[in-house]
A and B are shown apart, each in its own frame.
Chain A
């Protein structure tokens, strides 16, 4: 029983416990916070495997962006989660059945796992030995060379997402007062102020 195994079980058990709490916590904000805890521990598990890049990505993308987004959604939309969960027991048998079937299928597939003998030579990018370079370095080397095309296309997808979000939500509201600096600067003293001669004792 060495230290690595102990750390593995620590991370793994916290991940599972946090995952259970995500679906069983009453308060949705607590659910999201448990989700973040699960992400952090999964990142720890990745670190143990030597996949430090995946661990970083998990923290940056999932914890940093996705979980915060969830939190926003949960806090901004006033959803009654207790109501959503009402049918839980009612759907449990059929849901459980489907889950068991999927589990059996997965076991069947994994049980017959044989990698074809000819497969070894054709892997798209051979994995370098872990000691040679870090896996961030290794991924960087093929991401911008071998996978240049999908990388650029992913950029196009983000562009579509941006254009789409603007098309569907941006509204030009009439009657909004905006600052126009050029118009401000173009005003002269004559336009801006009017001098009136007020004779004393008469008022304006």
Chain B
């Protein structure tokens, strides 16, 4: 092994841990048979924790390139990778009891989550259009399978198929955009792209590059489910098994947002006037659709799907603002969003009545009397998702909007605030049903321990975030700084 290659491998240790771990667990599962599902699940959590520990190495150093500059490791990548690994590690234990009850406890679940997470880490560290695409496909392919994991359930199969077909379409658009960018600039590398596109001769970039950016951002917008590429989200979120939906809403969204931010800021940063209007449009449309379309939803999973579309819109406000503050806003937003989402889906996983999952809003009636602690946490999370101070969700929105106003995007922030007021309606409706409607009946007990732990942790973080906001802000600021030229 040459010295150069071993240097590269050292930088990719988290990815190596995930890849080797996934393959080892696959072998273990294949030899031990179906009985190994529980063991593989916990071992996968261990692999994720190990990868998270390895990610922390070298924090604070200058960005380093590896694998002939196809791969970059900087503080931005570390921050996002930790979020993704956390999201994956929290969903795995929550999924166990659900899958066991659904009669689909198979060891491949843990392996597929590990492989999807590997794809996400590669996406986050991508420094080349080719790495970007390969990471994205690795992630997506594993997610398609996870969505259809309950293969005897018509809804789950439909979700998987729908996700697959639309995902393939979006990959096609992304590749078309990438090919145009490559054709007009002669390179796929982010560093070279920044250099090539940076100092034009004053005439601006060729129209082909701009068309390429449009297609590229369309493909990326699909992955973060921003309007107008959001159509798959409610159906897939509703159809997929609930723990898988929790995973979808947390980890891949963070990874895709990281990819979006890196692509726009790092290689295309100097073309901000060209892409800013696209992002502004997507942000406005996502916020409004997230606010209005969720009003009529009676299924909690669909409601949370629309809510996640809206939240992507708010995060995109930070990207539209750009600059250090904007990127920091996106990072803080994604971190807080992930905690809130995992908590909300944890609450969904905790609720079952008569052996059936509670998925409709009106089935929550009187939860405050039958199960006061759960009702309290869910109410806190709903208030936080709506952005009511002093809960964490308020701070997430605050930093994004401050960045937007500083960048001169006042109209965008005003629309955002109005949309958040509208979205308050359906979040509060959930709270109203839980606290003021007639009780429907007690929930099944006991709630599985991992679910209880995740829900409690998420509730505590959301409610008490305002006491110690500094660590998240400081690390997000350091991460954003490493992305700036």
Q: Do A153 and B149 touch across chains, with their CB atoms under 8 A apart?
A: no
Per-position 1/0 for B217-238, Cβ under 8 A of A = 0000000000000000000000
Q: Measured between alpha carbons, how far is A105 from B214 in the docked complex, in Å?
A: 13
A119 touching B70 in the complex, CB below 8 Å, given contacts A109-B207, A113-B208? no
Q: Are A122 and B141 in touch, CB under 8 angstroms? A: no
Report the nearest B residue to A122, measured CB to CB.
B192
- B138 lies within 8 A of A157 (CB): yes
Contact status B207-A112, CB under 8 Å: yes
Are A116 and B184 in contact (CB-based, < 8 A)? Answer: yes
Interface pair B131/A108, CB less than 8 Å apart: no
| A134 to B197 alpha-carbon distance, docked (Å) | 32
Partner of B189, one of A115, A122, A167: A122
C-alpha spacing A29/B189, complex, angstroms = 43
Decide: A160 near B138, CB < 8 A? Known: A146-B68, A168-B148: yes
Q: Cβ of B480: which chain A residues have Cβ within 8 Å of it?
A: none
Please encode chain B, from 100 to 122, with 1 for each CB lying within 8 Å of some chain A CB and 0 for all others: 00000010100110010011001
Total A-B residue contacts, Cβ distance less than 8 Å: 111
Most buried by B among A114, A116, A119, A166: A116
Residues of B within 8 A of A161 (CB): 141
Report whether A156 and B148 are in contact in the complex, using a CB–CB cutoff of 8 Å: no
Cα(A160)–Cα(B149), bound, Å:
14
Is there an interface contact between B196 and A149, defined as CB atoms closer than 8 Å? no
Q: Across the two chains, which residue of chain B brings its CB closest to A169?
A: B151
Interface size counted on chain A using CB atoms at 8 A: 34
From B71, which residue of chain A is reached at the shortest CB distance?
Answer: A149
Which residues from chain A contact B112 at a C-beta distance below 8 Å?
160, 163-164, 167
Q: How far is the CB of A115 from chain B (nearest CB, A)?
A: 6
The answer, yes or no, to whether B188 is at the interface (CB within 8 Å) is: yes
B429 within 8 A of A: no
Residue pair B186, A122 in contact (C-beta under 8 Å): yes
Question: Are B184 and A115 touching (Cβ within 8 A)?
Answer: yes
Contact at B208–A112, with CB atoms within 8 Å?
yes
Given the known interface contacts A148-B67, A163-B112, the answer about A119 and B186 at a Cβ–Cβ threshold of 8 Å is yes
Report Cα–Cα, A169/B188, bound state, in Å: 38
- Which B residues are CB-close (under 8 A) to A147? 68, 70, 130
Chain A residues lying within 8 Å of B186, measured Cβ to Cβ, are 115-116, 119-120, 122-123
Closest 3 CB pairs of A and B: A119-B186, A164-B145, A122-B192
What are 5 contact pairs spanning A and B, CB under 8 A?
A: A115-B185, A147-B68, A149-B12, A150-B130, A166-B108
